A and B are shown apart, each in its own frame.
Chain A
Amino acid sequence: MATDTEVDLTPRLKTDEMLINMGPQHPATHGVLRLILTLDGEIVRHTEPILGHLHRAQEWQGQNRTWFQYQALIDRVDYLSGMFTSWAMARAAEVVDGCEVPERAEYLRVMVSEMNRITSHLLWLGTYLIDLGAMFGFPFYPFREREKLLELFEEIAGQRMMFNYIRIGGVMRNPKDAWLSKLKRFTEEFPDRVDEYEAIVTQNPIFLKRTKGVGILRKELGMDYGITGPSIRASGVNLDLRRTKPYSVYPKLKFDVPLNDRDGDTFDRYIFRIREMRESNEIIKQCLDMLPQGEISGKKQIAGLRVKAGEGFAAVESPRGTLGCYIISNGSDRAYRIKWRNPSFCNLSILPELLKNHPIADVMAIFGSIDVILPDVDR
């Protein structure tokens, strides 16, 4: 019991942690992620991500649709890099089925998917700047180049975003010569555009202040959580399936995999994506030069498409990391079980660790920098 002179002030001076519910509708959560943040002042102490607001049952659909139908659906798993989702499933099915893929188709696959990598990173760049508060101005420029690539996609696949271009056994359509020359022109002017972005962003003092030393991802922690893609390469782990587990015609192509020599922060993750765009551009150039003539599909694209019985796992290096597909087929016209290994799902799981003890403004800087696509998380 406090005496009259000793007034106990503690209850009145008590500070409390505040719970903030961010999302599922929030401008910075890139769709429908919900974060429950425990704030101490403006410092995040604990984060609980709640996913599944876009759970569209892609795996369930895989069991219930024929292979041919399902091919059209999976572009929606990761709508910013539909080529990669198609490719991951096509590869898994090809591995299980044992069918050959013609070389021309492989080159076309590499070409369109590297184009897709560029569009994905461009969109990331635009939205990331929006996350950092540059609402007007800069975010519009990456979209300008993205539209050019989307036009090319539309010409070859018939859709701006949902391509359904890479099919089991090959690709859907042969590009015209005019298309190839348009793409060549794009690859020639694109590096200048990237220089333009870098001129605006990379030297911007506020951008540097917001990103340098923020959200440092330790190498060991990243490996523990199974982080993949540019995020882990920016922390110095050499994991690029195009090099470490080479597939398709990547062994024949010359390109660098940028690798950091220290634990990466948000700025590193930004700069690595910029570098990757340049590398992708180089890959497209080489593919255009090396593109052979020949067939484009090793399997008949008919509605009754079947995959032989068996099980297998195949993965491709998507813009966000290892995008894998585990297939169990019983030889019928639909899969027995399809399991997706989505890079966004795995990369997002580290978010609570990265956000710990950062101010609330950094939530956007960090969350944006690991480049998460919500349908890729929720499926």
Chain B
Amino acid sequence: MIEGNAQGVNELADELKDTVTLTSLEKMIEAMGELLSPIVSPIANAARSNSVWPLTFGTSCCAIEMMSVGMSKFDISRFGSEVFRATPRQADMIITAGTITRKMAPALITLYEQMPEPKYVIAMGACTVTGGMFNDSYSVVQGVDRIIPVDIYLPGCPPRPEGILDALLKLQQKIRTESYAERKNKKYRQNAVRYVDYDTGRPLEDLIDEARYETALALDPLKGLQEKA
């Protein structure tokens, strides 16, 4: 994976990226360009904001509150979001419920990359906002925004189910302000912010930098000595 090559990260991004084929409807709209966007946006936004299907993703304590919110007392189904999809391909939103560790990070990134556009992220719980109570642990990622782009931050340890409903409503508001064309063209592929190596739990850029440095060192050992001095 590491060839000491600056394009490494981009190559990996390409590898993770799926083949994208546009639906005929989208092709048509694309052909119409930005002209149609003002007309399509309200329809698309109304539909998208009202049917946000979450991915069944939960790592720890917050996942239990995420389950509670689907249950009788809090009932997320009122907002049309009770359709928890087990596969990222059919989900619109990922609620990162629980601490993300260095070991889990690559899996989360893969899941995020596998979700079809438009996709949204709610960082649920203190751990995914900043690392929370575990934020100085050696194995914890300090907030999911270090690896994937986040739309809504929801603090709390764990947040109450009402908090999740609030976050969902805020997300719906956010979706309603979007422009279809902008979502589609300007930020069409939302890639992960940073990729993490599965075996070492370290950011890929670091590993690539290290590999480059080592190659450079192998070519020019004097440089290393100079740096040491």
Contacts and interface: CB of A to CB of B under 8 A. Distances in A.
- Within the complex, are A and B direct neighbours (CB within 8 Å)? yes
A52 B103 contact: yes
Interface string A336-379: 00000000000000000000000000000000000000110000
A191 interface: no
A160 B104 contact: no
A179 interface: no
Interface string B127-146: 00000011011111000000
B60 A25 contact: no
A80 B157 CA distance: 14
B68 interface: yes
Nearest to A73: B133
A53 B63 contact: no
B158 A25 contact: no
B72 A162 contact: no
A79 B64 contact: yes
B59 A27 contact: no
Instruction: Name which of A54, A64, A123, A147 has the most chain B CB atoms within 10 A of its CB.
Output: A54
Interface string B110-141: 01000000000000000000000110111110
A369 B60 CA distance: 19
Chain B at the A interface: SS class: loop
A143 B71 CA distance: 7
B12 interface: no
The prevalent SS among residues of A at the interface is loop
Interface string A64-91: 1000000011001001100000000000
A56 B63 contact: no
B104 A60 contact: no
B59 A31 contact: yes
Contact of A53 (B103, B133, B157): B103
A161 B103 contact: no
Q: Which one of A31, A147, A374 has the greatest number of beta carbons of chain B within 10 Å?
A: A31
A32 B64 CA distance: 13
Given A60-B137, A60-B138, A54 B71 contact: no
Contacts of B36: none
Interface residues of A, number: 31
A24 B104 contact: yes
A76 B133 contact: yes
A161 B73 contact: no
Nearest to A23: B107
A56 B134 contact: yes
A238 interface: no
B54 interface: no
A56 B56 CA distance: 21
Contact of B140 (A56, A72, A123, A127): A56
Contacts of A27: 56, 86
Given A32-B59, A56-B140, A57-B134, A162 B104 contact: no
B72 A54 contact: no
B73 A54 contact: no
Given A56-B139, A161-B158, A123 B134 contact: no
B99 interface: yes
Given A24-B104, A57-B140, A143 B134 contact: no
A86 to B, nearest CB: 14
A53 B59 contact: yes
16 contacts: A25-B108, A31-B59, A31-B98, A32-B107, A54-B98, A54-B99, A56-B134, A56-B140, A57-B137, A57-B138, A61-B137, A79-B61, A80-B64, A143-B72, A162-B157, A374-B60
The 7 A-B residue pairs whose C-beta atoms are closest, nearest first, are A57-B137, A79-B61, A143-B71, A53-B104, A27-B86, A56-B134, A147-B73
Interface of A: 24-27, 31-32, 52-57, 60-61, 64, 72-73, 76, 79-80, 123, 127, 140, 143-144, 147, 160-162, 374-375
